[in-house]
């Protein structure tokens, strides 16, 4: 991009030197004088039980123990650890039925690993040894692991306000008949020539961010509660903690440490309430809470598993006439974002194809499983697994090429977007499909693999998707940004946007430098400090570059305007006629000799003196600062596709993913290597969701694989040859035309690999993940039936 100085360049990531040397400080790496350690006591005997009594007497006698805490020793105020409820208006939150039903330590255990108390001791080992001495008496309750079980008439109610343990259904006040969509689906199916229908299961997938959720909290001498955490959404965590502990926000300080991956796992609060409760129990002593991997697995939210039924109807010529769908989410033990996830799963469905009639019902049911919350894609991968497989089944019956069908029927510019009442502002999906198809050799391979008979059979599959850039106008979108020009004309930006590792602090800096006209090294981002930073939603909904980027752009453009206006007076020129060069000399376009340095203007603004002879000041006073409080109206959805080639061993059921090609309509690549990184990492998680990743339970609700040994992710040797194509088609609303890429990379590999297996084996797999066991079983059943 020749027109830009910083945008579009693979500049060195701002955080990378600290990360390759290991100097980057994650929460667990911080030590403080006088620090003590917390240990949470978790119920590992039952997935559903009443706590009858807790006996701390032996634990208290253990060396180094400072405090023991049970449910009665902390605030009885309840909360909801998700932050989604903060982003809806009071009216909508009431309609959606959002609740706050969680206690810091519970007396009603709802899942295996639920927290019931804590120990504070001088060392980590002492805290652990004391925790082992705590005696708890439980009354075991029936365990419900599916919506069917928990919604049975005689099931114990998790929350009184949610009869039948139905945590959520689309509210009739916002969605007539509790349905999303349009048209008359039942009538339309009568006219359909081809109908495809099936019931799917999408698995409970874990984010597996590499840094466990670790914390420090300190109730300090000023009476302020300080928390150090790698939360993705620090400002919303800040207000939630202030409300929970009934303190003004000015007495709560939230310090965001380096974030070791997120993917939704720390979207809202995870163990912040617990560590802050511990800190309040030992004023003046910093309390460190380190979570072993097995406990992190249980205590942080995962993807919602879903029981997802869908039916699609088509005319003979391929016209899609109707889609009907019901998604029932397994909520886990607590509500969290029960409303939003069940809604968006349907939004992604209604955003994809030009179908004449559509009806979607989304519901969530409590289950005795670790909580479910946000995970990269937020319902989109679930819909992709179901919708894209059914589209391929229909294409088979209609005898049309799945690529051509999608090119004809995907939504585009001007069509109603995923949210239903705004229109797509840009779409380059056709270009993505053409480039992707060419890169993988779609046409030749699709024909070549059509009729195979051997032991090793290949298949090629495709999937398309659309996502969002921020959550507007569905729910709140807001980022504030302050820019301050120092007296030497370097710039400080204060904002609370998070970098979970995706690189947003680098890309936001590029946008700032470009907008100011400054070299990138002269721009610094001051982030992660709730005292200094104004409001920001935090990292979710693929919003940071888009919403944060526009906030940064506006604030920096305003600072530059102020700078140019001062320069214009000195140069006796019009501010609109000015430009700035790499040396930060502001000059009159066409007359480069007529110039003044940005430094001179900034310095005079701060170091301003009165001439004692003339009584005049030596220039315009005041440090140049700009502030914006930015709320977008748009969400500029990115479109994208993935092609996958697999080889299936018909004797063992093993799937080898040979090649993956993704192409994303990202608007503008601010930092191409960072964009590719999102697509490459997304592919690892998307292929994992489709092929290997699921949290398993025994009949008593005990988690069987809360470790990297037993939970299989694709490793370096399992990953296919990858090609990731960036299609740049600037969007009218994105900063420099950019749209999101963060979550999108995970979505389409899910449907694409399932469709590749379909072509190779002639079998569709409705139950994710598609493991060798399931493939082998299906092959044998098919052979037996034949």
Q: Which is nearer to another protein, 500 or 556 (CB)?
A: 500
Place of tokens 């490459």: 680
What letter would DSSP give residue 628?
Answer: E
Instruction: Work out whether 656 is an interface residue with another protein (CB under 8 A).
Output: no
Q: Which is nearer to another protein, 102 or 502 (CB)?
A: 502
Nearest Cα to Cα of residue 380 among 768, 759, 745 = 745
Q: At closest approach, how far in Å is the CB of 576 from another protein?
A: 37
Instruction: Work out whether 761 is an interface residue with another protein (CB under 8 A).
Output: no
Q: Which is nearer to another protein, 25 or 77 (CB)?
A: 25
Q: Which is nearer to another protein, 420 or 672 (CB)?
A: 672
- Cα gap 143→146, rounded to integer Å: 9
Contact region for another protein (CB under 8 A) — 57-65, 277-285, 585-593, 701-709? Answer: 701-709
Region of residue 284 (left: phi > 0; alpha: psi -120 to 50; beta: else): left
What letter would DSSP give residue 660?
Answer: E
- Using the Cα atoms of residue 67, residue 71, residue 72 and residue 76 in order, give the sign of their dihedral: positive
Contacts of 249 (CB under 8 A, 6+ apart): 238, 239, 242
- Residues in binding contact with another protein, number by CB under 8 A: 56
3-state DSSP call for residue 334?
coil
Q: Which is nearer to another protein, 261 or 420 (CB)?
A: 261
- Cα gap 347→378, rounded to integer Å: 10
Q: Which is nearer to another protein, 232 or 761 (CB)?
A: 232
- Cα gap 79→479, rounded to integer Å: 25
Active site residues: 743
- Cα gap 87→108, rounded to integer Å: 28
Contact region for another protein (CB under 8 A) — 78-86, 576-584, 702-710, 768-776? Answer: 702-710
Cα angle 652, 396, 203 (rounded to 5 degrees) comes to: 50
- Cα gap 41→476, rounded to integer Å: 36
Contact region for another protein (CB under 8 A) — 77-85, 112-120, 350-358, 498-506? Answer: 498-506
Instruction: Work out whether 99 is an interface residue with another protein (CB under 8 A).
Output: no
Residues in region 2-31 near another protein by CB under 8 A: 10, 12-13, 15-26, 28-29, 31
Which listed residue (165, 209, 357, 490) binds another protein by CB under 8 A?
209
Q: Are 174 and 356 in contact (CB under 8 A)?
A: no
Which listed residue (708, 777, 780, 781) binds another protein by CB under 8 A?
708
Site mask, another protein, residues 34-73, x = CB under 8 A?
Answer: ----------------------------------------
Tokens found for residue 507: 């890309």
Contact region for another protein (CB under 8 A) — 317-325, 329-337, 362-370, 676-684? Answer: 676-684
Instruction: Work out whether 113 is an interface residue with another protein (CB under 8 A).
Output: no
Taking residue 72's Cβ as centre, other Cβ atoms within 10 Å add up to 10
Q: Which is nearer to another protein, 19 or 617 (CB)?
A: 19
Contact region for another protein (CB under 8 A) — 46-54, 246-254, 381-389, 671-679? Answer: 671-679
End-to-end C-alpha distance for the chain, whole angstroms: 58
Cis amide linkage into residue 769, ω under 30° from 0: yes
Instruction: Work out whether 674 is an interface residue with another protein (CB under 8 A).
Output: yes
Strand (E) or helix (H) holding 507: helix 504-516
Which listed residue (252, 259, 358, 520) binds another protein by CB under 8 A?
259
Instruction: Work out whether 542 is an interface residue with another protein (CB under 8 A).
Output: no
Instruction: Work out whether 360 is an interface residue with another protein (CB under 8 A).
Output: no
- Using the Cα atoms of residue 372, residue 375, residue 380 and residue 383 in order, give the sign of their dihedral: negative
Which listed residue (638, 681, 751, 769) binds another protein by CB under 8 A?
681
List residues near another protein by CB under 8 A: 10, 12-13, 15-26, 28-29, 31, 207-212, 258-263, 290, 292-293, 500-503, 673-674, 676-677, 680-685, 707-709, 713, 715-717, 719, 722
């Amino acid at each position: 991009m020749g027109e830009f100085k910083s945008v579009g360049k693979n500049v060195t990531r701002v955080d990378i030197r600290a990360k390759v040397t290991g100097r980057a400080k994650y929460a667990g790496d911080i030590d403080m004088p006088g620090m003590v350690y917390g240990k949470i006591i978790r119920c590992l005997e039952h997935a559903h039980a009443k706590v009858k009594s807790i006996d701390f007497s032996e634990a208290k006698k253990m060396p180094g123990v400072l405090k023991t805490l049970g449910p009665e020793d902390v605030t009885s105020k309840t909360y909801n650890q998700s932050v989604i409820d903060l982003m809806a208006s009071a009216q909508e939150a009431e309609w959606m039925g959002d609740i706050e039903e969680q206690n810091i330590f519970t007396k009603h255990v709802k899942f295996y690993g639920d927290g019931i108390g804590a120990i504070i001791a001088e060392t980590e080992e002492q805290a652990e040894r004391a925790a082992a001495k705590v005696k708890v008496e439980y009354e075991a309750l029936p365990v419900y692991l599916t919506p069917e079980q928990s919604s049975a008439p005689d099931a114990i109610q998790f929350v009184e306000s949610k009869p039948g343990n139905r945590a959520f259904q689309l509210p009739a006040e916002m969605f007539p008949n509790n349905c999303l969509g349009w048209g008359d689906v039942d009538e339309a199916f009568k006219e359909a020539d081809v109908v495809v229908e099936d019931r799917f299961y999408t698995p409970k997938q874990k984010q597996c961010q590499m840094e466990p959720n670790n914390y420090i909290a300190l109730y300090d001498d000023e009476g302020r509660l300080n928390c150090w955490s790698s939360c993705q959404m620090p400002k919303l965590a800040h207000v939630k903690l202030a409300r929970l502990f009934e303190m003004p926000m000015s007495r709560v300080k939230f310090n965001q440490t380096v974030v070791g991956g997120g993917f939704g796992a720390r979207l809202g609060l995870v163990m912040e309430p617990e560590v802050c409760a511990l800190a309040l129990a030992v004023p003046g002593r910093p309390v460190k809470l380190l979570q072993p991997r097995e406990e992190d697995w249980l205590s942080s939210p995962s993807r919602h598993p879903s029981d997802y039924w869908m039916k699609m109807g088509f005319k003979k010529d391929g016209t899609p006439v109707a889609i009907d769908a019901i998604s029932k989410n397994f909520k886990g033990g607590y509500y969290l974002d029960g409303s939003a996830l069940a809604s968006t799963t349907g939004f992604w469905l209604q955003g994809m194809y030009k179908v004449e009639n559509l009806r979607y019902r989304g519901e969530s049911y409590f289950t005795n499983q670790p909580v479910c919350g946000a995970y990269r894609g937020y319902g989109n991968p679930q819909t992709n697994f179901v919708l894209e497989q059914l589209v391929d089944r229909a294409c088979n019956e209609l005898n049309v090429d799945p690529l051509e069908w999608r090119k004809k029927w995907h939504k585009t510019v001007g069509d109603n977007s995923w949210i239903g009442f705004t229109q797509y502002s840009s779409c380059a999906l056709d270009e993505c499909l053409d480039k992707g198809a060419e890169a993988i050799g779609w046409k030749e391979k699709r024909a070549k693999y059509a009729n195979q008979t051997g032991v090793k059979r290949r298949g090629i599959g495709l999937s398309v998707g659309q996502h969002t850039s921020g959550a507007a106008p569905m729910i709140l979108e807001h980022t504030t940004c302050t820019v301050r020009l120092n007296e030497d004309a370097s710039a400080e930006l204060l904002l609370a946007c998070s970098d979970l590792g995706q690189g947003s602090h680098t890309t936001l800096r590029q946008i700032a430098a470009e907008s100011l006209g400054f070299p990138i090294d002269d721009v610094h981002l001051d982030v992660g400090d709730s005292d200094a930073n104004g409001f920001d939603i935090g990292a979710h909904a693929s919003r940071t570059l888009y919403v944060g980027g526009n906030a940064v752009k506006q604030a920096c453009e305003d600072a530059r305007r102020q700078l140019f206006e001062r320069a214009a007076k000195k140069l006796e020129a019009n501010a609109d006629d000015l430009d700035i060069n790499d040396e930060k000399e502001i000059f009159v376009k066409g007359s480069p000799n007529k110039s003044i340095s940005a430094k001179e203007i900034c310095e005079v603004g701060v170091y301003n003196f009165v001439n004692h002879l003339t009584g005049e000041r030596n220039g315009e006073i005041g440090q140049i600062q700009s502030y914006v409080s930015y709320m977008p109206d748009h969400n500029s959805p990115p479109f994208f596709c993935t092609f996958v080639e697999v080889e299936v061993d018909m004797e063992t059921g093993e799937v080898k993913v040979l090649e993956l090609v993704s192409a994303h309509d990202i608007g503008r690549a601010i930092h191409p290597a960072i964009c590719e990184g999102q697509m490459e990492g997304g592919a690892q998680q998307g292929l994992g969701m489709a092929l290997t990743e699921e949290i398993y339970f025994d009949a008593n609700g005990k988690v069987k694989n809360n470790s990297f040994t037993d939970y299989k992710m694709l490793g370096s040797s399992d990953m296919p040859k990858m090609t990731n194509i960036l299609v740049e088609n600037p969007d009218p609303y994105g900063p420099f035309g950019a749209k999101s890429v963060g979550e999108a990379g995970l979505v389409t590999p899910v449907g694409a690999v399932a469709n590749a297996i379909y072509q190779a084996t002639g079998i569709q797999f409705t139950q994710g993940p598609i493991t060798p066991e399931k493939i082998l079983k299906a092959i044998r059943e098919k052979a037996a039936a034949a």
